[in-house]
Amino acid sequence: MNLTAKLVSCLLITSALGLHAAPREWKSADGQRSTAGELVSRDATSITILRTKDSKQLTIQLNQLDPNDRAWVNTNHPLAGTKAPAPDESAIFDTLAFGDSRETALAKLKASKFVALTTDETFIGRSGLNGIFRTRQKIGALSAMLYFDWTEDGKLKELTLQTDPLPADAYKSELEPSWKAFAELLETLHGKPVQKGTFPEMATLADGSFSPSHLWKLESGGSTLLGTARDGAKYQVVVRFTEKMIQPVEIP
């Protein structure tokens, strides 16, 4: 299942089905709590797990789970009567693809189950698409805005996801958990990265810079970078999808 199908599968509405799975760590949507347990059953809105520490059954609402856990449930334990849409092998994020026109990208975004419009549609013509679509669900404890870069003839050549800018005192407490959640999600969607680093040190970020820690090669061509960025006194987690074929950097 490619990126498009997996993102959509996170939001499928399904019916009940009994199942058994090996114990795993389940995280809350805000990233503040976790518990280990075996998945026993699920329905359209919740899962039931057998908690490891006391062998008690615990029911958790799906909307209270970390997006990665929801994706894992829907990908590994889809229910009877559900079927993911046919994958679009050219998609880089949701249904967006390099080469999409602005009109095509807007139509895809408006139909998306993964992102939502944050302003009145009448303002799109004035402001363009940058910064007006946000992920519906938080990745870690943060959601992300979408930004676009186009060729001279109006074709999509780069897409960037940016979390809300936060002050330095939130770099470890809020940005690092979100960075970890993005890394896990991108690895689920794209497989193992060709380069994987640690959380970038805040002190190494110059104003206006982006420090990537992870690099993936996209099946449809191009690359995905994950890292953090600084703008003045504020910091963000950034995911960059680019049609450029970026090469790994050798670390001494």
- pLDDT digits (tens), the chain, 252 positions: 444 445 544 433 222 333 445 688 999 988 889 999 998 888 777 899 999 999 899 999 888 888 888 878 877 776 654 444 444 567 888 889 999 999 999 999 988 888 999 987 777 776 689 999 999 888 888 999 999 999 999 999 999 999 999 999 999 999 999 999 999 888 887 788 999 999 999 999 999 999 999 999 988 789 999 999 999 999 999 999 999 999 887 554
Positive or negative torsion for Cα 167, 169, 170, 175: positive
Q: For residue 2, what are the contacts with CB-CB under 8 A and spacing of at least 6?
A: 87, 88, 89, 91, 189, 219
Do 35 and 102 lie in a common domain?
no
Whether residue 82 lies inside any domain: the answer is: no
Whether residue 213 lies inside any domain: the answer is: yes
Do 41 and 99 lie in a common domain?
no
Tokens representing 190 are 């794209």
Do 57 and 174 lie in a common domain?
no
| Backbone torsions φ then ψ of 176, nearest 5 degrees | -65, -45
Do 101 and 194 lie in a common domain?
yes
Tokens representing 39 are 């998945």
Tokens representing 227 are 């890292």
Residue type, 114: F
Looking at the whole model, is its pTM more than 0.75?
A: no
Do 18 and 99 lie in a common domain?
no
Q: Determine the pLDDT at residue 191.
A: 81
Tokens representing 139 are 């990745």
Q: Which of 48, 76, 104 is the last residue of a domain?
A: 76
177, 179, 185, 191 alpha-carbon torsion, rounded to 10°: -130
| Residue 211 · residue 233 · CB < 8 Å | no
| Residue 62 · residue 49 · CB < 8 Å | no
Q: Indicate the number of domains in the chain.
A: 2
**Structural domain span for residue 184:** 91-242
| Backbone torsions φ then ψ of 92, nearest 5 degrees | -110, -30
| Residue 233 · residue 168 · CB < 8 Å | yes
Burial of 250 (0-12, 13-18, 19+ CB in 10 A): exposed
Do 50 and 127 lie in a common domain?
no
Whether residue 81 lies inside any domain: the answer is: no
H/E element, 105: helix 102-111
The β-bridge relationship of strands 166-167 and 115-117 is unpaired
Whether residue 251 lies inside any domain: the answer is: no
